[in-house]
Amino acid sequence: MLLTLDNICKSFGDTVAVNNLSLQVPEGVIYGIIGPNGAGKTTTIRMIMNITIPDAGRVLIDGQPATPDFRNRVGYLPEERGLYKKMTVTEVLVYMAQLKGCSAQAAQSQVDPWLERMGLFDYRSKKVEELSKGMQQKLQFISTILHDPDLVILDELFSGLDPLNIEIIKDILLELKRNGKTILFSTHVMEQAEKLCDHVCMISRGRKVIDGSMTEVKAQFGRNSVQIEIEGNGHFLRELSGVLHVTEFNNYLELELAEGVDSNEILKQVVERVAVRRFTQLEPSLYNIFIEMAQVEQPGSDMSGGGDSV
Amino acid sequence: MSKFLIVFKREYAQVVKKKSFVVGLILTPVLMLAFVLLPALLAHMKADGTERLAIIDQTERSIGNQFAESLNEYKLTDDEDTPYYSVEQVYTINPGDSVRFRAVEESLREQINDKNLKYFLVLRQDADLVDSSMYIVTNSDNFRSLRRFERKLSDLMASVRLEMSDINLSVDSALTLTRSIDLVVRDTKGESMPFLTKYFSALVFVMVLFGTILGYGQLVMRSVIEEKNSRIMEVMISSVSPFQLMMGKVIGLGAATLTQVAVWFAMGAGLFLLRSSFDIDPSIDRIVFNPAIIVFFVLYLVSGYLLFSTLFALLGSIVTSDKEAQSLVAPITMLLILPVILGIAVVQEPNSLMARVLSLIPFTAPTMMMMRLVFVAPTLSEYSLFSGIVGEALLGFLLVVAAFAGMVWLTSKVFRIGILMYGKRATLPEIIKWLKY
């Protein structure tokens, strides 16, 4: 399924939440919408789901405006989670799948395998309210994909999940992608986006600031830098020709090199002076790009919230 | 299966599975039954002395005397000789002498008001031919006695009528073929049904209607609020349209209401079949088993429920908590309970302008019209679709249905936006803005 947003806009009163946003989600990829809190990620997703109606612009599915049938082909996990607390785990899963057009029998046959995979099988007859919050999260994730949707939209998927469950869910997402499904998710946690996404779109203050495949984005923001861990004093590093800037960390240093400088030449020079434990050619992290872009977008604002959740 | 039906099934199952549903199912008819049977039981215990009565007899066969004689078999207690009834006087009045008749009737009425007499029976000229030419005047609701009179008169009339006819049949065997007569009971004001009976019957009908509409209507509201608060609404709206969700709830819970009513009806039908085996006050009989009242009770229950539950769905979508909703529920409750508050006024004049107007305004119609229907308690001959109380009740019902249609339109506009507003109650200007989408 090909999802296209065509110049969509949404304002709430005087606040512009989404400003002329266009993007295209190709089929069979994991697509990340990233951006700081309040950037307009959730509003964008709600407009895709037809929960919020855009002030202007169109949402197209395979080039056509969405039909009611679109609902059945999408699995949606909203940022605000919730399930019927008084229903049992199995009941709630079957009900939600039925609402997506599955027959009760088809849904029922899918419930147990998924519960088993997510470690909830023993709770299948328990009421939802008896489950812990993390378990309810997992349950809601199952209900998002139980009806085998072509497009899965996950708003702040990983919030509230422990690393073990994050790994389980990542595996499932990669499996879905292998089966040709499209996955769109939003997050402000860059490390996760970096590990998962084929394609990223960063939005800030309702506008798109970066859009492209992960390799393109990294190439665009690529800087020539290396990480180095040495024994002894690294003062001399600043004087090496071709080194523009040195950042010292507790156990290692990061060197920013001038354009066209071969990092191997640098390594040779360093090995002559001190013992090298580790030497890595660095790619720019999405986190750094995010910080950089966000600071450009919002000069002076505190962006420390960007990467602290992991 | 359409998504409406899926929502419908869940909402229905959620209510019917609840213990409170089963309790209400049993408890309500038990209370109603108690109301019907309790007076009967009380009457059996009541024997506070010989009951005095008089008879006005205008027939030519001295039926009055025969009737007086037949009452001698009833004793106050089983082992004593004190008669239960004492016929003070039998006035034999010439059918043509209407002046004397009126004078006697008036004085007997006064004696009843003064409690010197408990009953007087009037047998008009052709009472031996027409049941409605006899009636009994009393302010008492001791229908055990009334039933005895009815039985004795039935027997008496049957034999008199048989003798008059030329059928060559033994009297005893023909008696079993005759039906019992319907004795008209009036109080001294000329009302054909005792005030208290009407008032309490009307109250029972109105309270059941009121309780069901309000109870289930609020369930719709709570269900919406719960979905808002548990944040499930957004997932729901990504699967079903707000309209499907709203109607699924309203109709699903409505089906639960109908289930309840159907069970009550089955119980009522059982009671109807058994009613000859215990004494039911004839006037209660006329109310509880009156087809017009039963039909309109169901129509008003259904239409009233639909109207109010849609309104409650609207309220649920614009508030953020049960607590906040309560302040809005109070005025709605007032609309429905109005007839009870105005009850006394309605009793005195069920066809007054105020009562008529209130019974045609959709929000007060269900309970108000029910109240009036019970007070008027139309007999079969008064059934007309275009006039009288039955015609008005039909009009009122159609108005409620029309109002329901309008309410669905209004609610569907507000609902789809209201349900996704978290943490803030919608203001009136906002709601008006939503209507324009």
Q: Which class for B321: exposed (0-12), middle (13-18), buried (19 or more C-beta within 10 A)?
A: exposed
Q: What is the pLDDT of residue B384?
A: 65
Query: Are residues B422 and A80, on separate chains, in Cβ contact within 8 Å?
Result: yes
Which residue of chain A comes nearest to B419, CA vs CA?
A51
Query: Are residues A83 and B1, on separate chains, in Cβ contact within 8 Å?
Result: no
pLDDT digits 0-9 by tens, A236-269: 888 888 888 888 888 888 888 887 788 888 888 8
Euclidean distance between CA atoms A149 and B85, whole angstroms: 85
Euclidean distance between CA atoms B61 and A260, whole angstroms: 135
Could you give phi then psi for residue B193, rounded to 5 degrees?
-140, 140
Query: What is the residue-level pLDDT of chain B in tens, covering all 437 positions?
Result: 688 899 999 989 988 888 888 888 888 777 767 766 666 566 555 556 788 889 988 888 788 888 888 888 887 776 667 788 888 888 888 888 888 888 888 888 888 888 888 888 888 887 777 777 888 888 776 667 777 888 888 888 887 777 777 666 665 555 555 566 667 777 666 666 666 667 777 777 888 888 889 888 998 999 898 888 877 888 888 888 888 889 999 999 999 988 988 888 888 777 777 766 655 556 666 666 778 888 888 899 999 999 999 999 999 988 888 888 888 888 888 888 887 777 666 666 777 788 888 888 898 888 888 888 887 766 666 666 666 788 888 999 999 999 999 999 988 888 888 887 766 677 777 777 777 76
Q: What is the pLDDT of residue A221?
A: 73
Euclidean distance between CA atoms A126 and A114, whole angstroms: 16
**Interface residue B73 vs chain A (CB under 8 A):** no
Q: What is the pLDDT of residue A309?
A: 34
Q: Residue A301 pLDDT more than 60?
A: no
Q: Residue A302 pLDDT more than 50?
A: no
Q: Measured in whole angstroms, how far is the alpha carbon of residue B223 from the centre of its chain? A: 31
Q: Which one of B14, B227, B234 has the shortest CB-CB distance to A78?
A: B234
**Interface residue B31 vs chain A (CB under 8 A):** no
**Interface residue A94 vs chain B (CB under 8 A):** no
Helix (H, G, I), strand (E, B) or coil at B127: coil
Query: Are residues B230 and A78, on separate chains, in Cβ contact within 8 Å?
Result: no
Q: What is the pLDDT of residue B283?
A: 61
**CATH class entry, domain B47-182:** alpha beta
**Interface residue B234 vs chain A (CB under 8 A):** yes
> In this structure, are residues B54 and B117 in contact, taking their beta carbons and an 8 Å threshold?
yes
CB atoms inside a 10 Å sphere around CB B172: 8
Residue A175 makes CB contacts below 8 A (sequence gap 6+) with: none
Of B216, B236, B219, B217, the C-alpha closest to B228 is B236
pLDDT digits 0-9 by tens, A109-118: 999 999 999 9
Residue B379 makes CB contacts below 8 A (sequence gap 6+) with: B286
Euclidean distance between CA atoms A187 and A33, whole angstroms: 7
Q: Which one of A51, A71, A80 has the shortest CB-CB distance to B231?
A: A80
pLDDT digits 0-9 by tens, A33-78: 988 888 888 889 988 888 888 888 888 888 888 887 888 889 999 8
Domain boundaries of chain B, sorted by first residue: 3-39+195-435, 47-182
Q: What is the pLDDT of residue B430?
A: 76
- Residue ranges of domains in chain A, CATH in brackets: 3-219 (3.40.50.300), 223-282 (3.30.70.1560)
What distance separates the 2 farthest-apart alpha carbons in chain B?
A: 87
